Amino acid sequence: MKHRIVLLGAGYAGAYTAGILARRLSPADTEITVVNAEPDFVQRMRLHQLAAGQEIAAPKLADVFAGTGIRLRLARVTAVDPERRVVAVAHADGGSGELGYDTLFYALGSRVADHGVPGVAENAFDVAGRPSALTLRERLDGLERRGAGGSVLVVGDGLTGIETATEIAESRPGLPVTLVARGELGARLAVGAGGHLRRACDRLGITVLEHTTVEAVEATRVLCADGTALASDATVWAAGFAVSPIAAAGGLEVTANGRIVVDRTMRSLSHPDVYAVGDSAHAIGDNGRPLPMSCASAGYTGRQATDAIVGRLTGRGIENTRLVYAYNAISLGRRDGILQRVDDEARPRPTYVGGRKAARIKWGIVTAALWSSSHPTFGLPRRTRRLAAVPDGSAHTPAGQAVA
């Protein structure tokens, strides 16, 4: 029997690593299946652009994996059962089924976090997934058609909130945009970059409300902790990401916020047949701190996990690949941006790159991420590794084996 690797989620972490596994393991004894809910590769890093009205490429996953030997199953994962080693899936036509695995690669990403704030689910828009970004886009189209400037309120001044507010303000100058920050605007930036951000908001006509906590979202306004109400025709909730409850419900060891706890090789601490990467994994970086949810972390954790899976299955050593968090690249519309490096303690370094140069660097990052995800086997040597014979005959590394 072939060793069954089932990979959940074909986002930045999953699509690319499926390709590496397909190139490095022999199809004679491994079978790789990717399960993804949507038929296209979604460029999450550009969903604020999609919401703002721009066209964003979405390559078909069937084309992405054509000729790689990877099986694609378009279905929504509804549960994992790591004791029985099965994944439950639901299909768009209402059908459902189960998939058995020998190694599970969990890369289901993240979604918007409402933090339990009343009214967010019912009344707020978000850019965390493509369907919700398209719903926001429709709403903004409607406000523009209506004329007389319906207002847009973006809650959250993290990277996603900043990118969303600036993108909408630049693409839709007829809509007044307000950015709500719980503390001081751009608190995660150094002084210089923070000043650059303020100037960009001024230039784009964005109203910035600092030290403001939103406690409830209604259809046409938000209610703040200080008792004020802010009118809003489209409230965009950008106050962070959360992971799906699927891993916790399946009994995998997770952190308080539901991310799967993994060792240095991205192997689940509670279930050694399971590897987790990207936003879904609580991985500790080389600086001893949890890696942030980011496209870069998806790449680093994916590379480490594939190295570990191939190393263990073929009986070779496992290299510790790099797990670093080095910078934030933030777009401020299409012609401006900020590249803010961070130190080993994840604090912003004093210098930054701003303006068109930073916008070009950011464009390069998203383009490279799209290229590597949509050409997952490009440039990699052909499959060379057969599985190692192990004593139980299952070609499966026993739980708890020491990492080389």
Binding-site ranges for ligand FAD (CB under 6 A):
9-14, 35-38, 42, 44-45, 47-48, 76-77, 107-109, 127-128, 160, 163, 244, 278-280, 293-296, 298, 329
Min separation Cβ 168 and ligand FAD, Å: 12
Number of CB atoms found within 10 A of residue 290's CB: 16
- To ligand FAD, the closest distance from the beta carbon of 201 in angstroms equals 18
Least distance to ligand FAD, CB of residue 207, Å? 21
CA distance 79 to 68: 27
Q: Which H or E run contains 310?
A: helix 295-314
Q: Classify 23 as helix, strand or coil.
A: helix
Choice between 366 and 395, CB closer to ligand FAD = 366
Entry field: residues in the chain: 404
| Nearer to ligand FAD among residue 9 and residue 150 (C-beta) | 9
Residue nearest to ligand FAD (CB): 11
Q: Phi first, then psi: what are they for 24, rounded to 5°?
A: -100, -15
Residue 241: phi, psi to the nearest 5?
-115, 150
Distance of closest approach, residue 221 Cβ to ligand FAD, in angstroms:
24
Which residue type occupies 228? T
Nearer to ligand FAD, 13 or 64 (CB): 13
Question: Which residue lies nearer to ligand FAD by CB, 49 or 151?
Answer: 49
Nearest to ligand FAD of 314, 377 (CB atom):
377
Beta carbon of residue 44, minimum distance to ligand FAD (angstroms, whole number): 3
- Give Dmax (Cα) for the chain: 73
Minimum CB separation of residue 50 from ligand FAD in Å reads 9
Give, for 301, the enclosing helix (H) or strand (E): helix 295-314
Compare residues 135 and 244 and give the one whose CB is closer to ligand FAD. Answer: 244
CB of 338 to ligand FAD, least distance (A): 11
Per the CB < 8 A criterion, the answer to whether 237 and 125 are in contact is yes
Between 127 and 308, whose beta carbon lies closer to ligand FAD? 127
Instruction: Please state the closest distance from residue 392 (CB atom) to ligand FAD, in A.
Output: 31
Q: Answer whether 111's CB lies under 8 Å from 128's CB.
A: yes
Backbone torsions φ then ψ of 99, nearest 5 degrees:
-125, 125
Classify the C-alpha dihedral 68-365-287-255 as positive or negative: negative
Contact 27, 52 (CB under 8 A): no
Tokens 């496992």 found at: 318
* 344 φ/ψ angles, rounded to the nearest 5 degrees: -65, -20
Measured from the CB atom, the residue of 243 and 387 that comes closer to ligand FAD is 243
